Amino acid sequence: MRCSVGAQVLQILGLVLVLGTPYCEAILRRKFVIKETPYTRLCSTKSILTVNGQFPGPTLYAHKGDTVIVDVYNKAKYNITIHWHGVKQPRDPWHDGPEYITQCPIKPGGKFTQNVTFSLEEGTLWWHAHSDWSRVTVHGAIIVYPKNGTSYAFINPHREVPIILGEWWKQDIFAVYDEFRQSGGDPNISDAYLINGQPGDLHPCSKQDTFTLVVEHGKSYLLRLINAALQDILFFAIANHQVTVVGTDASYTKPLKVDYITISPGQTIDLLLEANQPADHYYMAARVYSSAAGVEYDNTTTTARIQYKGQYTPSSPPPLPYLPYYNDTAASVNFTGRLRSLASGDHPVPITVPQTVKHKFLFTVSVNTFPCANDSCAGPNGSRLAASVNNISFVSPSIDILQAYYDHIKGVYGTRFPSKPPLEFNFTADYLPLALETPQNGTEVKVLEYNATVEMVLQGTNLAAGTDHPMHLHGTSFYVVGWGFGNFDKKKDPKKYNLVDPPLQNTIAVPKNGWAAVRLQFFNPGVWFMHCHLERHLSWGMEMAFIVKDGPTTESQMRPPPPDMPPC
Ligand SMILES: [Cu+2]
């Protein structure tokens, strides 16, 4: 229930807070100015795209149920869109943000006012650009507090700290993008990973600005971890400290005490750190988990410091945490597979776990290749690298799918996205015939009735290069009810599903040469993107969209478009 706006208006630090009667959901207003700003990292300076000159960008704060209105001004020379990752935006796909899916880009000099409507989310999310690769520097945290009068599902921490994992190229990111699109090969790897915008002590010219968290012995800290890196799943750990996972993707989890975590691009993980070790300095660190054979990766380690308050002589250098080896798939899934929804009396699951479903989809996610004239491209054997879902490599339309759907414009997209792959074969075999590597180009969507219940098995393949794919869905979260290695077995595997307390996520890493099964009810009418959150795979076409039709009542129908949609 939302109250009417207008009783009092508070203006604090350029942030407008409009309050209605007590306990009402608030409407807050923020200004995002996209502009180029010079930043120096790894001893060299370049111009990067920022929001309000900040990198990482400003944090959005809200309580569950609030709406934040963000005025986005594009004062840069590139097209841009902004996506509110993990925010369901009930009935309002217009403000979701993915380029050519729900809007055309905001052109240089343009402006778009976006409503960010919080409903079921509670915890940590993030926002990022959703056009080309500009999200590399255009991103920031979203913190959703419990509603007034309710509390966290865990003890109140002494302090809360966003920990944003990022990625840095010394080269201009648009040059990296253009080069790899042109060559058809893999993109240049990054030069460093970042913690809160900083590569850390192990990198040149970086020591002085390393992110430092000062802690008091005996207190607990809530680390709101976000993987904003473009290309890689990351391992993260803190030396000599265990951490307790309490949430992921803005949904509470059963407390899980671990030595390290695995976090996919797109995913957020809330963890509690108890400052319970001898007073000293300790490193927190992150480095890559990269499973694809023959694919180069950035093998550097990013660090930040935990410093206990007090009088003592710290270890020099501070101890580094243990992190699993770069290609340790077992370590990766060992963490991810242990997440469970909290599902307690005080904090029940926010959405019912579908016990039965109307639709069962099998979607293969593959890296592919297209033949290239004279074998002159930079992919394997002179081919051009591509990627697909159910063998369709997604081609961006010229106007956004949402507008075409709403205005009944023909010829923009097709409605024949298949429920299963066109060919059944041993998807995860060691050797696969080269002929299977070539996908079809297409702009196909899957159309669903309002409230459709769906089971979607995301099946990895070993085409071109078997690897993990962090698949992300817009508009609603899904329950991860099962996963495994090899090919999904539709007779045996569903018997092992967890339909009691599966984790509610918006991003799930489909394991290398394995599968992940998710269940959800599509209760949010609109056009919703689903894609791999490894940026190179997204650029190659590993994506599709769902159209969820309107329901019978006003409350189950899409809102009309706002008057200021950016023109195509
Ligand atoms: Cu992928």
Q: pLDDT-based confidence at 59, cuts 50/70/90?
A: very high
Residue at 17: amino acid letter: L
**What is the C-alpha to C-alpha distance for residues 167 and 536, in angstroms, rounded to an integer?**
14
Lowest-confidence region among 7-16, 94-103, 200-209, 473-482: 7-16
Residue with tokens 């066109």: 422
Query: What is the distance in A from the centroid of ligand 1 to the CA of 136?
Result: 17
The C-alpha atoms of residue 115 and residue 144 are separated, in whole angstroms, by: 15
- Ligand 1 centroid distance, CA of 483 (Å): 16
Query: 462: CA distance to ligand 1 center in Å?
Result: 12
Compute, in angstroms, the gap from residue 533 CA to the centroid of ligand 1.
6
Ligand 1 centroid to Cα of residue 96, in Å, is 21
Q: Which DSSP string corresponds to 302-335?
A: EEEEEEE-SS----SSPPPPP---TT-HHHHHHH
Run of H or E residues at 180: helix 173-183
Q: Which amino acid is at 142?
A: I
How far is residue 528's CA from residue 84's CA, in Å, rounded to a whole number? 13
Q: State in Å: Cα 128 to ligand 1 middle.
A: 18
Side-chain-side CA neighbours of residue 327 (13 Å): 10
The pLDDT assigned to 313 comes to 97
pLDDT at residue 317 greater than cutoff 50: yes
Q: Coil, helix or strand for 174?
A: helix
Residue 21 reports pLDDT greater than 50: no
468 CA to centre of ligand 1 in angstroms: 6
pLDDT score recorded for residue 7: 35
Spacing, Cα 392 to ligand 1 middle (Å): 14
What's the CA-to-centroid distance between 175 and ligand 1, angstroms?
22
pLDDT digit string, tens, across residues 340-371? 999 998 899 989 999 999 999 999 999 999 99
Q: Tell me the CA–centroid distance for residue 310 and ligand 1, in Å.
A: 46
Residue 216: other Cβ atoms inside 10 A: 14
| CA atoms 167, 464, 457, 257: torsion sign | negative
Q: In the β-sheet with 159-168, what is the strand arrangement from edge to edge?
A: 192-195, 159-168, 220-227, 268-274, 243-248, 251-258
Reported as a single tens digit per residue, the pLDDT across 148-166 is: 889 999 999 999 999 999 9
User: What is the pLDDT, as a whole number, of residue 504?
Assistant: 98
What pLDDT shows up at residue 15?
44
Distance 511 CA to ligand 1 centre (A): 10
Pairing of strands 384-389, 359-370: antiparallel
Cα–ligand 1 centroid distance for 447 (angstroms)? 23
The distance of Cα 210 from the centroid of its chain, to the nearest Å, equals: 25
Ligand 1 centroid – CA 538 distance (Å) = 7
pLDDT band at 201 (very low <50, low <70, confident <90, very high): very high
Distance 463 CA to ligand 1 centre (A): 12
Is the pLDDT at 75 greater than 60, yes or no? yes
Residue 222 has pLDDT above 80, yes or no: yes
CA–CA separation, 31 vs 163, rounded Å? 23
* Alpha carbon of 526 to ligand 1 centroid (Å): 24
9-23, 401-415, 417-431, 507-521: lowest mean pLDDT where? Answer: 9-23
For the entire predicted model, the pTM comes to 0.95
How remote is the CA of residue 64 from the centroid of ligand 1, in Å? Answer: 31
**What is the arithmetic mean of pLDDT over 217-222?**
98
- The number of angstroms, rounded, from the C-alpha of 377 to the middle of its chain's C-alpha atoms is 30
How much is the pLDDT for 16?
A: 43
pLDDT, residue 465, reads 86
Query: Which of the four pLDDT bands, split at 50, 70 and 90, describes residue 25?
Result: confident
CB 509, CB 410: distance < 8 Å: no
**Residue ranges with CB less than 5 Å from ion ligand 1:** 469, 532, 534, 537
Mean pLDDT of 317-322: 97
Q: Is the pLDDT of residue 19 over 80?
A: no
Determine the distance separating the centroid of ligand 1 and the alpha carbon of 531, expressed in angstroms: 8
What's the CA-to-centroid distance between 534 and ligand 1, angstroms?
Answer: 5
What's the confidence (pLDDT) of residue 11? 40
What pLDDT is stored for residue 24 in this prediction? Answer: 66
Q: Return the exposure string of 306-317: e unless at least 16 CB atoms fall within 10 Å of the residue's CB, then b.
A: bebeeeeeeeee
d(CA 539, CA 89): 25
How far is the centre of ligand 1, averaged over its atoms, from the C-alpha of 13 (Å)? 40
Q: pLDDT tens, 271-308?
A: 999 999 999 999 999 999 999 988 999 999 999 999 99
Residues ≥6 apart with Cβ < 8 Å to 491: none
Separation between Cα atoms, residue 520 and residue 362, nearest integer Å: 14
What is the whole-number distance in angstroms between the Cα of residue 541 and the centre of ligand 1? 9
Of the candidates 341, 334, 303, the one whose C-alpha atom is nearest the C-alpha of residue 320 is: 303
